[in-house]
Amino acid sequence: MNRLQALDTQDAIPALYQATPIGRLIEYHNLDRPSETYAQAQLLIGMCMDNRKYLRIPENFAYIIRAGGANLRYSEFKVSYAIAVGGVRALALIGHTQCGMVNLISRQEQFVQGLVDVGWERDWAEQHFQYFAPMFEIGNEIDFILSETKRLRWRYPKCLVAPLLYRVEDNRLYGIRET
């Protein structure tokens, strides 16, 4: 976790993100910035579908795509829509601690049994897991967010993309150092 940067003051927000929608996201969530009124989204937030995460942001401030592990590879059309039609030029990619997509293979039996419990045939449930798990396994949360940040910067070179981590333990956003 030494790659994390606490974002607990205005000065702690990297200069690159200050006075941008990403800086305002951090201010709203971590620094209790008072809400403002937005007529349209200012940024796209890609984050995990995990139910333990809640962002303190104003209405209409952001498009939010929730996908396991904050993996936007299979949501790229939605990302493109938010940029091309929605006009956003900033993306915050937010991973989180204790992510279920890390070491996904260890959850195979729980996954399969959960589907069997709701009526799936065991063979189908096992095939389903074996087919999709490799697509959604993210390895390490921080490494995955950094690689996805790099990929999105390459795909959308005129957009600002920030790698962030939500610590479930304290419900705060942290910067991820990229060096």
Same domain, 17 and 65: yes
Is 70 a residue whose pLDDT tops 90? yes
Q: Which helix (H) or strand (E) holds 130?
A: helix 122-136
Residue 65: which domain range? 4-100+140-176
121-130 tens-digit pLDDT:
999 999 999 9
Return the CATH number at 67: 3.40.1050.10
Find where tokens 């201010």 sit. 27
Instruction: Give the CA count within 13 Å in the CB-facing half-sphere of 139.
Output: 8
pLDDT tens track for 48-65 = 999 988 999 999 999 999
- Indicate if the pLDDT at residue 141 is higher than 80: yes
Tokens of 114: 């959960």
- Per-residue pLDDT reduced to its tens digit, 14-61: 999 999 999 999 999 999 999 999 999 999 999 999 998 899 999 999
- Pair 12, 48 in one domain: yes
Please report the pLDDT score of residue 48 as a whole number.
93
Q: What total of structural domains would you count in the chain?
A: 2
* pLDDT for position 3: 93
Q: What is the mean pLDDT of the chain?
A: 96
Does residue 21 sit in the same domain as residue 85? yes
pLDDT of residue 61: 98
Same domain, 68 and 130: no
